[in-house]
Amino acid sequence: MTSTPSHADASDNVWQQAQHDLDVAAERLKLDSGMHRVLRVPRRELEVHFPTTMDDGSEEVFTGYRVHHNLNRGPATGGVRYSSDLTLDLVRAYAMLNSWKAALVHIPYGGAMGGVVVNRRKLSAREREGLTRRYTAEISSMIGPDRDIPSPDVNTGSQTMAWIMDTISMHRGYTVSGVVTGKPMAVGGTRGRRESTSRGAFRCIVAAATESGLSLPGARVAIQGFGRVGSILAQLLDEAGARVVAIADDRHAVANPAGVPVDAAVDHMRRRDSVAEMPDAEPVERADLFGVDCDVLVSAGVQNQITAEVASGIRARIVVEAANSPTTLDGYAILRDRGVTVIPDILCTAGAMVLGYFEWVQDMQSFFWSEAEVVSQLNRIMDDAYAGISAMSRERKVDLRGAAMMVAVGRVAEATALRGLYP
């Protein structure tokens, strides 16, 4: 079961794409060449190799990472991912994206990312706990409530964050609740966390639909990726009167032009962990979901789903990047040239970072907010962020992705320049 890093081209391309997007923004902003070089690389990287005792008594060695991109706007934050295809380049890319996300929504954080190269499904609960605690110990010099605040990502969740928090607390000799976000409510978590990414994406869809003259009630929506983010977003869209006509998980897809019953679909997915054999919907090839006749296409799965070939067949007016880096460079170029509105990932997925900040603030103050307060503040921040990007898009005559990068990179560059170089 020993896991070694994968060097798949798809993951490496995410880092190339992140640097390319920065290069374009730097050119548009006429960024100083020295500042450009500083922002193009992470500030620090840690790669660890550590043993974990398995249930059968054997020891396996795993590889883990933690990367800090930029810390000039505040402590770093970013996910912890457990995945067999995790690479250092992918971690670098997401650390950089997290710097831009925080700046975009005016959250005083820098960007970080980390994780372990492992197939989570092959681990028992006890093995996952042992792996998490050992990984935490290995990266403990980098994390803390005033240094780097990890959060959940793919194949990790509130329980993983509780284990990380407890491990750091045992080392310190007292409870350090602010060392992670995404914790269970019982140990310092915040209300509204589970829905945060979906709510943030929903606010972006509402704003984009309004700008493009699309009426959300009655709009046809296809959703690729029906996990937590995709399923909650489907429910929010359904409540707004939109019609979900197709959904897909990581293996199967179903469609119904008259509308898939969303609550029943969510219940089916919860019970079976698959959209296969879903009532009131017909099976379709998963690859065909991207070509479904719809107004809004949501990509809420993993990276590199919308390639050039896929982009050529998309029929939606609005593409929603509700996952990190779901569109390749070539795929994005085709959508842009075709006039498709793409809501970029650094904005669309920022809701989770906003809630992470809310949780951190509440932990540090030991004072917790109502769910209504959380939702109200999240909506305000996301609406303001979209409005700022839209204004930049009109002013500089660039698309939403270009505008988002210009706003975010400009803010990080300003903070970096103001702080200067030490010594």
Lowest mean pLDDT among 3-7, 43-47, 349-353: 3-7
| Measured distance CA(288)–CA(417) in Å, rounded | 47
pLDDT above 70 (res 9): no
Q: How far apart are CA 321 and CA 331, in angstroms?
A: 12
Per the listing, tokens 């509130």 go with 158
Mean pLDDT, rounded, for 256-260:
94
Structural fold of domain 9-21+39-178: Rossmann fold (3.40.50)
Tokens (6 digits) for 280: 């009131």
- Which residue has better confidence, 146 or 302? 146
Average pLDDT (261-270) is: 93
Could you tell me the pLDDT band of residue 4, with boundaries at 50, 70 and 90? very low
- Check if the beta carbon of residue 78 is closer than 8 Å to that of residue 357: no
pLDDT of residue 10: 43
Question: Among residues 280, 281, 264, 195, which one has the least CA distance to residue 236?
Answer: 195
Identify the pLDDT of residue 279: 87
For strands 76-83 and 148-152, give the pairing. parallel
The pLDDT assigned to 301 comes to 86
Question: Taking the model in full, what pTM does it have?
Answer: 0.91
CA gap 312, 334 in Å, rounded: 7
pLDDT over 80 (residue 3): no
Give CA–CA dist 324/101, Å, rounded: 11
Q: What pLDDT digit, counting tens, does each position of 202-218 carry?
A: 999 999 999 999 999 99
Residue 2 has pLDDT above 90, yes or no: no
pLDDT at 52: 97
On average, the pLDDT of the chain sits at: 94
Distance CA 39, CA 416 (A): 9
- % residues pLDDT > 70 (the chain): 97
Torsion of CA 277, 285, 302, 334, to 10 degrees: -150
Delimiting residues of CATH 3.40.50.720 domain(s) in the chain: 196-339
CATH class of the domain whose range is 196-339: alpha beta
Rounded distance, CA 346 to CA 259, Å?
A: 29
Which pLDDT score, from 0 to 100, does residue 423 have? 83
The pLDDT of 97-109, averaged and rounded, is: 97
Please spell the DSSP secondary structure of 311-375, one letter per residue: HHH---SEEEE-SSS-B-HHHHHHHHHTT-EEE-HHHHTTHHHHHHHHHHHHHHHT----HHHHH
Nearest to 364 by CA among 159, 180, 237: 180
pLDDT at residue 302 in the model: 80
Answer whether residue 8 shows pLDDT above 80: no
pLDDT at residue 14 is higher than 90: no
What is the structure's pLDDT at 221? 98
Position 131 pLDDT exceeds 90: yes
What is residue 346's predicted lDDT score, i.e. its pLDDT?
94
Question: What pLDDT, on the 0 to 100 scale, is given for residue 418?
Answer: 97
Cβ neighbour number for residue 309 with a 10 Å cutoff: 13
CA–CA dist 113, 225 (Å, integer): 22
Is residue 12 over pLDDT 50? Answer: no
- Our CA angle for 92, 332, 15, nearest 5°, is 10
What is the pLDDT at residue 297? 97
CATH 3.40.50.10860 positions along the chain are 9-21+39-178
pLDDT band at 325 (very low <50, low <70, confident <90, very high): confident
Question: For 364-390, what is each residue's pLDDT tens digit?
Answer: 999 999 999 999 999 999 999 999 999
